[in-house]
Amino acid sequence: MDTTTASARIRTGATLYAYTNAFHQRRLGLEGLVREVARRGQGPGLEVVGFQSFRDFPDVSDDTAARFRDLVASTGLTLTCLGINSDTHVTPHRSRSTQELVDFHARQLRSAAKLGFPVVRCQYAAGPEVLRALAPLARDLDVRLGLEIHAPHTVDHPEILAFREMYAQVGSPYLGFIPDFGSSARAVPRRYIEYYRANGVPERAITAALELWSDDSDPFTKRPRYLEWAAANDIERSRALEIHTIFGLFSRQPPRNWLEIMPQVVHVHGKFYEVDDSGEEASIDYRAILATFVEGGYEGFISSEWEGHQVSDEDGFLDVDRHQAMIRGILAAS
Amino acid sequence: MFDKVIDDGTLRATPEGFSVGVRLPWYRSLPLSCISVNLLTCDGHAVPAEAITIHLNGRARQLSELVEEIEETWFITDTATLSVKGAPLASGSEHRIEAEIEVRPPYIKGLRRVGRVARMMKAA
């Protein structure tokens, strides 16, 4: 693959999720964030999480939509994806029915169209039947549905296979996938380990968690197995609950497994935690992953999705700079 | 983020007791039914849940009412005010306030995350 082709096919972008701290801490509002992304050249792709950025979500008013479209047009950024949510388990005792979920997603899909997004990110909790029911509306609105494949899921997990089978039956170009690179991690990010250490998780509990994370057993069994181990080994439950989130945030899928769904990839979450001074992401092997996406012929955007805000107060802008420089460097050399 | 559940400078002495502003420790707005205030203490004394009223979106509710509100959300940059009956504070006095807010993101069954922090605060 020659240099221009890989770099031209795969384009960088950012999701405002990467700057969650700046928004949560009220340092920048929606308009300020969008302008800052443009000013720093962290586009051209722009992704937004509906329930983060829009007060009236799952709906958006005509006025909100018009102002957002004007804002984006004034920056020259390109809208890539709107993160919508499959809010299923709304109380500890009540879950939305399939029809209620279809209606809830339809509102968000209409909001995406109104705001000008070509793709929405959906979550597995929707289940295949909800996305099947939404396919005609997606076609009418010309907004593609992208099921996010996020850790601990992998492309061959039964819950994802159920979507793949439904997609094969329906055969609609409006049904696709959004890989999240946290599914194909190679290590638990250093920042997380330091965070747990600083928050009173004992060293032996960290060691045991990392050993379990690194073994080849089913990632879906690791959370309960770890909690059992912690209870049997006198680890305070609140500390075990703190560190056991690593089993849900990062999975060890081999990067080449993404090839199985590559023709259906409609957008990508370039999940990352820390790009070091040498330009490497120690927890996610970007060289191997991007080589796979180049080989698979992916055309589209990769949103820089910094998630270090869970364990850090930084605003994310410097991290995204480093991440995009790394991606551009790898693509230019491929 | 999980240590950002108390808003700086929001402790107030009120005729009935005190109030303090709290934040949602999550990256997105959530239905009120997915949020609990697990703990509020003043100088080490836990405030009973029945003595707390939560003010958000222009309405006042008992904490026990939150679980019924499936449609209404807590927007992530909004402060919710917890007002407490009893435990009156003197204006200008300093207190150690601790709060824990639990979120249950509804797209992952059984997931619970808690944000908890203790702060020395001066009552306005």
Q: What is the CATH number of the domain that holds A53?
A: 3.20.20.150
In a domain, residue B1? The reply is no
Q: Are residues A145 and A103 in the same domain?
A: yes
Q: Are residues A260 and A328 in the same domain?
A: yes
Angle at A47 between CA A129 and CA B105, to 5 degrees: 55
A309 is catalytic: no
Chain A residues with CB under 8 Å of B30 CB are 51
A105, A150, A244, A309: the catalytic one is A150
Q: Are residues A174 and A200 in the same domain?
A: no
User: Is B1–A309 a contact, with Cβ atoms under 8 angstroms apart?
Assistant: yes
What tens digit of pLDDT does each residue of B34-77 get? Answer: 999 999 999 999 999 999 999 999 999 999 999 999 999 999 99
User: Is B28–A310 a contact, with Cβ atoms under 8 angstroms apart?
Assistant: no
Chain B residues with CB under 8 Å of A123 CB are 107
Question: Which pLDDT score, from 0 to 100, does residue A334 have?
Answer: 85
Q: Are residues A224 and A103 in the same domain?
A: no
Q: Are residues A301 and A180 in the same domain?
A: yes
User: Is A248–B1 a contact, with Cβ atoms under 8 angstroms apart?
Assistant: no
Q: How many C-beta atoms surround the C-beta of residue A127 within 10 A? A: 17
Question: Total structural domains in chain B?
Answer: 1
User: Is B1–A51 a contact, with Cβ atoms under 8 angstroms apart?
Assistant: no
Q: Are residues A167 and A23 in the same domain?
A: yes
Domain that holds residue B25: 12-122
**What length does chain A have?**
334
User: Is B31–A51 a contact, with Cβ atoms under 8 angstroms apart?
Assistant: no
Question: Which pLDDT score, from 0 to 100, does residue A4 have?
Answer: 56
Q: Are residues A195 and A122 in the same domain?
A: no
In a domain, residue B85? The reply is yes
Question: Which pLDDT score, from 0 to 100, does residue B86 have?
Answer: 87
In a domain, residue B3? The reply is no
Chain B residues with CB under 8 Å of A17 CB are 27
Which of B19, B32, B54 lies closest to B102, judged by CA? B32
Residues of chain A with pLDDT under 70: 1-4
Domain limit, last residue, from A208, A223, A249: A249
Q: Are residues A110 and A14 in the same domain?
A: yes
User: Is A123–B107 a contact, with Cβ atoms under 8 angstroms apart?
Assistant: yes
Q: Are residues A197 and A322 in the same domain?
A: no
Residues of A with CB under 8 A from a CB of B: 17, 20-21, 23-26, 29, 49, 51-52, 55, 57, 85-92, 94-95, 123, 125, 241, 245, 248, 309-310
Domain that holds residue A130: 3-188+252-333
Q: Are residues A74 and A208 in the same domain?
A: no
In a domain, residue B6? The reply is no
Which of A111, A102, A172, A184 lies closest to A144, judged by CA? A172
In a domain, residue B36? The reply is yes
Q: Are residues A71 and A203 in the same domain?
A: no
The reply to whether B27 touches chain A by the CB within 8 Å rule is yes
Question: What's the distance, Cα to Cα, between the start and end of chain A in Å?
Answer: 7
Chain B residues with CB under 8 Å of A92 CB are 67, 104
In a domain, residue B54? The reply is yes
Q: Are residues A184 and A148 in the same domain?
A: yes
In a domain, residue B59? The reply is yes
Question: Which pLDDT score, from 0 to 100, does residue B48 have?
Answer: 97
In a domain, residue B46? The reply is yes
Helix (H) or strand (E) holding A72: helix A62-75
